Structure 1
Amino acid sequence: MSWLLDLYETYENNGDYVGITEQKRNGQSFMLLPISHTTQSAHIEVLVTEDGNFHSASVIPKDDAITVIPTTEESSSRAGAKTAPYPLHDKLSYVAGDYNSFGGDPKKVNDYSVYIKQLQDWSESPFVTSKIESIYRYLSKGELITDLVKDKKLWADENHKLRTKWDSSLGDRPEIFSVVTGDQDAAFVRFDVYYPDKVSKKIWMDQEVQQSFIDFYNTKLQNDVLCFVTGKMQPGTERHANKIRNPADKAKLISGNDTSGFTFRGRFNTSNEVAGISYEVSQKAHNALKWLINRQGKDIDGRVVLVWGNDKLDYVDPLAGGEAVAGYAQTQQSFSIELSKAIDGYKNDLETDSKVIILVLDAATTGRMAVIYYRRIDAEEYLDKIKQWHYNHTWRQIGEEKKVFFGAPSIKNIAVAAHGEKANNKVIKSVMERLLPCIIDGRTIPKDIIDSCVRRASNPVAMERWEWEKVLSIACALVNEKGADGVGLDNNIKDRSYLFGRLLAVADVLENTALRTDEKKRITNAERYMSAFSQHPSRTWEIIQKAIQPYKARLGEKSIFYTKQIDEILSKIEFEDFNDKPLKSVYLLGYSSQRQELYTKKQKVEILTETTSDDE
């Protein structure tokens, strides 16, 4: 129950946010919901007067439809033909006393009577507010649909029945048919009170009304159980929240309704014997989880990765690449400096017992969700792990909009590099799941992931240029064992594979330099034979050498520089190492570093030449 306790404590520690509307980056609103409340998409808003009469109504635009509503255990998990009304706002069959007289579904004949009795109990309780009393007085008259038809928000036919569809011969299509999926009687109605002389909060945002229902509903809770989360005897619940990842999410984290199957057979008689959870803890923990997901969760095709702290909510995202942590650093040195600054900035705000919680959720079916990864770690240790990961896997990367920077790749980019842009989302999620412990727990990156990235980086002909460059940089970041210190060409390395990689890079840059502008887009011989070169370097080098002879001739005296580079590298390879034994993955480091070094030198020479020409 550790993750439930973490979420429960997060709710308790952030009570100031309860009932406060916040905005996501995409403009959608969310809040830390009060207990005994949920959200629903409403279609019609009805205003009543203080003395309980109909005032006006409006069809709600879709961007304003999400409404915070009070809920009971039964209504939050109602399904099918079950009669379980929400306490205040609900569908027409519940809130309209004249629903049946307008051709309502006979199966819902008792919905209104159960609803109005529940609302009456609240309105007659010591906790009631004047707004609830006004709404109850109006709805108890049983004239809602009549008023909505008169106000032209709902539409009835000549037989006094709600129209199931709109006939174009009747004129322009009414708004209600654009917002409701299905028939008009599926409309969800929310209520508010009209005050002519004062400004008042909308009832679904009114914290006084919210607390009124919480206090009222607490008197209805019974059946104390030993809560496995708090260790206290409190009113328990067997119905736990859904809508965890989004308003349409039906999957639950906690469920024990399979009394006729294998859930309890041979072990327990009831679900409470497995684990008792109090109503308050369930409500607060689930509401905190929804709030955190909306606020800072990462959703990857339904799999949610969430990171937060017990003393502060925001921490470094373990999924992010180096550019998100340290910015678009232009050198490995600047990346190391910015990375240290970023991590130290978090550390300066830490308290003595600061913890970071990492939670990963996913649903195998539409009704069942699971915690597939959970870790509670000391905040300073977490930040050190993040720093170490980014430092260890620094390389020249290609980020958003093809910006070049030094840093570590994001784990999603690693997963895509290993399996391709068109890989199944389940495969990508699986790789990301396996990589997360490599960051948080410092585990070694699985060999098959590295091998897959290296294999794809060694086959540039199979990808577009930009994709191959990205895969190459990611593969180098994974292969590099020296971290930020290993970025850049090292002339002192005598490793056979590294040296062969350098050879390949010189051949590549030589040919690219010789190509005319209109030929630049075509692949070089070094790139064409790269895969074969990694498996049979000695034999393939002879082929590449012959292939680049025409380009040497085209360059003329400029080719001497590249020839010297090739001779220098060849002189470092031991005679017995110049064979066809497959190269180790480190050859990519030699290739990438040497290529970058040559292009950097070439740019400097061109700038110098242009400057000299201008002076003359």
Structure 2
Amino acid sequence: MSWLLNLYETYESNLDEVGKIANKYNGQEYTLLPISHTTQTAHIEVTITEDGEFHTASLIDKNEGSTLIPCTEDSSSRAGSKIAPYPLHDKLSYVAGDFVAYGGKIKKEEPFSYYIAQLKEWVESKYAIPQVKSIYTYLSKRTLIKDLVNEGILHVGADGNLIDSWDKKAEAFLGEKPPIFSTVTGGQESAFVRFTVHSSKNILPKVWKDLEMYKSFINFYKEQLGNDDFCYVTGELLAGTDKHANKIRNAGDKAKLISANDTSGFTFRGRFNKANEVASISYEVSQKAHNALKWLINKQAKIIDGRVFLVWGNDALDVPSFADDSFSVFSMDETSSAKKEIKSYTHEEFANQLAKAIEGYKNDLSTGANINILVLDSATTGRLAVLYYRNLDKEMYFNRLKNWHATCAWEHRYRKNDDQEFVQFYGAPATKDIAFAAYGPKANEKVVKGLMERMLPCVIDEKKIPLDIVRSAIRRASNPVSMERWEWEKTLSITCALINKKEGYTVSLDKENNDRDYLFGRLLAIADVLERNALDSSDQRATNARRYMNSFSQHPERTWRTIQGALQSYQARLGEKVWYYNKLIDDVGTKIKPEEFNNKPLSGKYLLGFYSQRHDLYQKKDKDNGEGNKE
């Protein structure tokens, strides 16, 4: 129950955000929902006058259809033929009193009678506000479809009934296809209608954005709830519920975190007589916890193939996620001097920058604040499971995060800044990028989300990175001809970071390192740079060093002889400049012990030597402006 309690406390800490509309990166709106409210996609907007008369109606653009509506326990979980009206905005079959008169199909009873009776209770309560009364007055006249037809929103056929679907018969009668058939999936009868009120005297807020409207229904519905029960989350006696929210990950998500089938579902029979004997959760706590979760997912979660990876603080929501790379960690810190471009190649400099950024996040949290990590996924369309949950002390979380970014660090060039320019940064890669490095950019999302979950203990509990992930990344990084140049460079730097998690090397070339694999990697880098410098700048073919890289990693001594033989023509092209490279090859080669100059397969450390030697050569070339590489 701790995850529910922390979500409930998060809601209570952010009451000032309730009902405020925010935009996601893709432009979709979201908000921290008030209790007893949910969201639906509306298709038609009907405006009523204060006197309860029809004013105007319009079709809603798809990007503006998300509507915050009041809901009851029954309506929020209705399915199939069950009649359970939403209190105010609903489908045409519920809100239109003339639905049957226009050929609308109903199974047994008329949904409108249930809808209008429920709305009447709200209107006659002490909590009703004028806008609710205006809408009730209009809908009681049973002329909604008539008005929408006259307005040109809905369309009837030759028999005077609503046209079920757009077909040849409808086309012959109407000619051009009306917009309603492109807006609504399933025909006109499926249209969802939202209402608002127009005043000639005052500017009224839209009904679904009106805080007073939220309060009106919340106060009214509280009196409709059942008897108090013991709440296992708060330990208080509060009105209970056995119907909990869905639509957790998105508006179309039917999976629930908490559910109890009826006695025929065999969910608890044989152990308990009633569902609430398992655990009882109050209506208010369930609503607030689920609404906080929906809000946090929209605001900052990472979702891969339906799996949710969420990190948040109880009193400071925006904290770095275990799945973020170092570039994101620094970018979130507005005070960081390394925000724009992190170019530190010394471990000490980077560690100092990272420590400052982490301290900045700590200072935003109260002394007793905790960090929550939650992973959710569903195996079926109806059930959502908590795969992982941890509530960590902020000191422990940030220390573990700092250790991860400081130890699994390397130089990268695949991230873009706010101006969409590639930037060079130093640090740890994101777990999603690790998945792409190990399995390729077209890896199945199921594989990606599985790897991200496996990497979580490596960050949070400082466990070792699984060997199969590292080996897979090494194999891909050793085969540059199988991928585009940019993809290989990204794979190479990420793989170096994974290897370096254990080895503790730096990007700067270590000329004193006499490890056999590291030295072989240096030889390969010298051959690569030598050939690249000998080629014309317009010639982007792969060098022999890269073409034979995979073979070199398995049979270094034999493959090196092949590469060295292929270098002769390129050495001739360089003229005097070649002496620097020749001397470097000799210096590195003599450091390898004769008994170690063999065909034993290389470990991932050869990639570190390759990267650092190549980086060092290009750094020298930049300083010498392409001239010398001479010492």
**Which bin holds the TM-score, normalised by the shorter protein?**
over 0.9
Deviation by residue 1:40-63 (Cα, 9 ceiling, x = unmatched): 111222222223222222222222
Tell me what 1:393 maps to: 408
CA shift for structure 1 position 528: 1.9
Q: State the distance in 2 between where 1:97 and 1:108 align.
A: 16
Q: Which residue matches 1:179?
A: 183
The match for 1:595 among 614, 619, 625 is 614
Counterpart secondary structure, 1:118:
helix
Report the residue type matching 1:562 in the other structure: Y
Residue by residue over 1:99-132, the C-alpha shift from the partner in whole angstroms, topping out at 9 and shown as x without a partner, is: 1111111316421111111111111112111221
Match of 1:130 in 2: 130
Report the equivalent of 2:569. 550
SS in 2 for 1:260: helix
Deviations 1:253-289 (A, max 9, x none): 1122163345224323332222211111111111111
Structure 1 position 548, deviation (Å): 1.5
Matched, 1:342 2:364: no
Q: Which is worse superposed, 319-328 or 372-381?
A: 319-328
Counterpart Cα distance in 1 of 2:503 and 2:58:
62
In structure 1, distance between residues paired with 2:344 and 2:108: 69
Query: Are the counterparts in 1 of residues 345 and 506 from structure 2 also a CA contact under 8 Å?
Result: no
- Structure 1's 57 and 553: CA in aligned 2 closer, same or farther, altered over 3 A? closer
The reply on whether 1:567 has 2:571 as its aligned counterpart is: no
Task: Tell me the SS of whatever aligns to 1:133.
Answer: helix
Q: 2:241 aligns to what SS in structure 1? A: coil
One-letter amino acid of the counterpart of residue 121, structure 2: D
Q: Spell out the pairing of 1:162-311 with structure 2 (5 A cutoff).
A: 162-164=162-164, 165=166, 166-167=170-171, 170-257=174-261, 259-311=263-315
Residues in 1 aligned to 2:434 and 2:397: alpha-carbon distance in whole angstroms: 21
Deviations 1:42-91 (A, max 9, x none): 12222222232222222222222111111011100111111100111111
Three-state SS of the structure 2 residue aligned to 1:332 is coil
Once the 2 structures are TM-superposed, how far is the Cα of residue 374 of structure 1 from its aligned partner? 1.1
Q: 1:295 to 1:162 in 2, by over 3 A?
A: same
Relative to structure 1, is the Cα distance of residues 485 and 472 closer, same or farther in structure 2, using a 3 angstrom cutoff? Answer: closer
- 1:408-427: CA deviations, max 9, x gaps? 21111111100111211101
Separation (CA, whole Å) in 2 of partners of 1:395 and 1:19: 43
Contact 2:44 2:57 survives alignment (8 Å) = yes
Q: How far 1:477 moved relative to its partner?
A: 0.7
Q: Secondary structure at the match of 2:530?
A: helix
String of CA shifts for 1:404-460, please: whole Å, max 9, x gaps: 322221111111100111211101111111112211222211111111111111111
Contact 2:310 2:373 in 1 (8 A): yes
Shift of 1:506: 1.4
Change (3 A) 1:67 1:362: same
Deviations 1:133-162 (A, max 9, x none): 222222122222122222322222332211
1:462: which partner in 2?
A: 482
Of 509, 512, 516, the match for 1:492: 512
* Structure 1, 564-573 or 340-349: larger mean CA deviation: 340-349
- Residue deviations 1:354-407 (CA, integer Å, cap 9, x gap): 111111222222222111121111112222222221111221112235433222
Relative to the length of structure 2, the TM-score reads: 0.92
Using the alignment, how far apart are the partners of 1:390 and 1:572 within structure 2?
Answer: 32
2:318 aligned to 314, 317, 335, which one? 314
Question: Residue 378 of structure 1 aligns to which amino acid in structure 2?
Answer: D
Indicate the residue corresponding to 1:21 in structure 2: 21
Is the contact made by 1:100 and 1:109 (CA closer than 8 Å) also made in structure 2? Answer: no
Tell me the equivalent position of 1:613.
none
Could you tell me whether the CA contact under 8 Å between 1:323 and 1:399 is conserved in 2?
A: no
User: Residue 45 of structure 2 corresponds to which residue in structure 1?
Assistant: 45
Q: Is the 8 A contact 1:177 1:184 kept in 2?
A: yes
**DSSP 3-state at the match of 2:625:** helix
Please say if 1:428 is aligned against 2:443: no
Quick one: structure 1 residues 554 and 56, their matched pair in 2 at CA, closer, same or farther if it must change by over 3 Å? closer
Say if 1:391 and 1:483, in contact at 8 Å, map to a contact too: no
Partner of 2:457: 437
1:332 equivalent to 2:332? Answer no
Counterpart in the other structure of 1:614? none
Query: Would you say 1:151 and 2:164 are equivalent positions?
Result: no
TM-score by length of 1: 0.94
Letter of the aligned partner of 2:342 in structure 1?
A
CA contact (8 A) 1:96 1:112 kept: yes
1:202 CA displacement: 1.4
The answer to whether residue 555 in structure 2 is matched with residue 536 in structure 1 is yes
Matched-pair identity in %: 58
Alpha-carbon distance in structure 1 between the residues aligned to 2:611 and 2:617: 10
Shift of 1:33: 0.8
Q: 2:45·2:59 contact (CA, 8 Å) conserved in 1?
A: yes
Amino acid at match of 1:332: Y
Residue 312 of structure 1 and its aligned partner are, at CA, apart by 1.0
Q: Which amino acid counterpart does residue 222 of structure 1 have in structure 2? A: G
Deviation, 1:337, is 4.4
Q: CA deviation at 1:589?
A: 0.7
Asked if 1:453 corresponds to 2:473, the answer is yes
Output the aligned Cα RMSD: 2.0
Structure 1 residues 392 and 215: CA distance shift in structure 2, 3 A = same
Cα distance between partner residues in 1 of 2:605 and 2:574: 30
Quick one: structure 1 residues 231 and 553, their matched pair in 2 at CA, closer, same or farther if it must change by over 3 Å?
A: same
Partner of 1:62: 62
Partner of 1:366: 381
Compute the displacement of 1:572 (Å).
1.5
Counterpart amino acid of residue 128 in structure 2: V
C-alpha distance in structure 1 between counterparts of 2:572 and 2:433, whole Å: 41
C-alpha distance in 2 between matches for 1:536 and 1:483: 23
Q: Which moved more, 1:75-84 or 1:556-565?
A: 556-565
Q: CA distance change for structure 1 residues 482 and 442 in 2, over 3 Å: closer, same or farther? A: closer
Q: Which residue pairs with 1:357 in the alignment?
A: 372
CA separation of 1:31/1:312 partners in 2, compared to 1, >3 Å: closer, same or farther?
A: same
Give the CA deviation at 1:341. 2.8
Partner of 1:72: 72
Cα contact 2:158–2:173 (8 A) shared by 1:
no
Task: State the one-letter code of the partner of 2:551.
Answer: A
Q: Give the Cα separation in 2 of the matches to 1:607 and 1:462.
A: 30
User: What CA distance in whole angstroms lies between the structure 1 residues aligned with 2:603 and 2:176?
Assistant: 71
Alpha-carbon contact 1:395-1:473 (below 8 Å) kept: yes
Partner of 2:492: 472
- Structure 1 distance, partners of 2:40, 2:276, is 29
In structure 1, distance between residues paired with 2:151 and 2:576: 89
Asked if 1:583 is matched to 2:602, the reply is yes
| Residue matched to 1:32 | 32
Q: How far did 1:193 drift?
A: 2.0
Residue 238 of structure 1, CA deviation: 1.6
Structure 1 contact 18–34 (Cα < 8 Å) conserved:
yes
Aligned AA for 2:193?
Answer: V
CA distance in 2, matches of 1:7, 1:169: 55
What does residue 509 of structure 1 align with?
A: 529
The more displaced of 344-353 and 29-38 is 344-353
2:392 paired residue among 347, 359, 377 = 377
Change (3 A) 1:200 1:514: same
Alignment check: 8 A CA contact 1:332 1:407 kept: no
Kindly provide the CA deviation profile for residues 522-552 of structure 1, in whole angstroms up to 9, marking residues without a partner as x: 2222222222222222222222222222222
